[in-house]
Structure 1
Amino acid sequence: MEMAKELISQYGYISIFCLLALGIVGLPIPDEILMTFVGYLASNNVLHYEGAVIASFCGAMSGMVFSYFLGRKIGKPLLNNYGKWIGLTPTRLLKVEGWFHKYGPWTIVFGYFIPGFRHVTCYLSGMSGMGVRKYLLFAGSGALCWCLIFITIGYYIGEI
């Protein structure tokens, strides 16, 4: 986390964008803590609140779109070949896909608030064949709410 703080302090919005994009794809970056810190910096006038929200949203969406297309292109073949090593048999995979077809869009929105789960929903969306427009609508809604909530929390913590 110290490295992330240094990057944001030195490079500002571009580092927020890159850290979130990489974090959503799956690198172990504590996204919630990062967003709260960004809000804190906005409250101390190091960053602009609106700029921080825009950079965060764009970074999160970039990572989510990349993960979606990764799931769409290599998700099923990869899980069919190697899923047994993590306990995902073809039967379980079909069950997960059925569940995702039923609840998938809302899983994307609400799953965004569950660390670790938000990464999987992106891949599953692509794997299940969800339409791009539908995915972007629900993923964008979840990402915007998530960014606003955590940046605002950090902003008000900084004002205390």
Structure 2
Amino acid sequence: MDIAKELIAQYGYFAIYGMLALGVIGLPVPDEILMTFVGYLTSTSVLNFKLAVLVSFLGAITGMMGSFFLGRKLGKPLLTSHGKWIKLTPARLAMAERWFERYGPWTIVIGYYIPGIRHLTCYFSGISGMGKRQYFLYAGVGSLSWCIVFNLIGYYIGVIT
């Protein structure tokens, strides 16, 4: 987290955008802690709340779209050829695809609040062949609500301390 603090201190909103975009793709960035810290910075007037939410949303949605397209282009062939290493047989993959086609849109919205699941839903949306517009709608709702909630948590932590 010290690196995140340094990056935000030096690059401000650009650092928030970049860290969230890379974190959603799957790099080890503590997204929830980052968002709470950004919210805290808005309570101390270091950052503007509305701009912080907007930049956070744009970073998150950029990462989600990147993951979606990676899943669409590389996901199925990669899982088909190397899935055996993680005990993912073609039958299990087909079962996961059917489940995701049925519940996928809401999984994207709800899964955004669960670390690890957030990353998988993005990739599985692409793998399952979900439409870009549908994905963008549900991913947008999930990421915007997530950004607002965690920025508010950080903001109120800053207000009460």
Fold equivalence (TM over 0.5): yes
- Confirm or deny that 1:90 pairs with 2:101: no
Residue 86 of structure 1: how far off its partner (Å): 0.7
Number of residues paired by the alignment?
A: 160
The alpha-carbon deviation at position 87 of structure 1 amounts to 1.1
Question: For residue 109 of structure 2, what is the amino acid of its counterpart?
Answer: V
Q: Hey, which bits of structure 1, 4+ residues long, moved more than 4 A? A: none
Whichever residue aligns with residue 117 of structure 1, its letter is: I
Partner of 1:81: 81
Equivalent residue, structure 2, for 1:15: 15
Give the aligned partner of residue 151 of structure 1: 151
**Which whole-Å CA distance do the structure 1 matches of 2:9 and 2:151 have between them?**
16
Q: Which residue of 2 aligns with 1:65?
A: 65
How big is each residue's C-alpha offset from its partner over 1:65-112, in whole Å with a ceiling of 9 and x where there is no partner?
A: 000000000110000000110111101000000000000000000000
2:27 partner amino acid = L
Identity %: 65
Query: Aligned partner of 1:3: which letter?
Result: I
CA RMSD of aligned residues (A): 0.4
2: CA distance between counterparts of 1:2 and 1:147?
21
Tell me, yes or no, if structure 1 residue 109 matches structure 2 residue 109: yes
Give me the whole-angstrom Cα distance separating, in 2, the residues matched to 1:73 and 1:87.
22
**Structure 1 residue ranges without an equivalent (≥5):** none
Classify the secondary structure of the residue corresponding to 1:119: helix
Equivalents in 1 of 2:9, 2:154: separation in Å? 15
3-state SS of the aligned residue for 2:113?
coil
Gaps of 5+ in 2: none
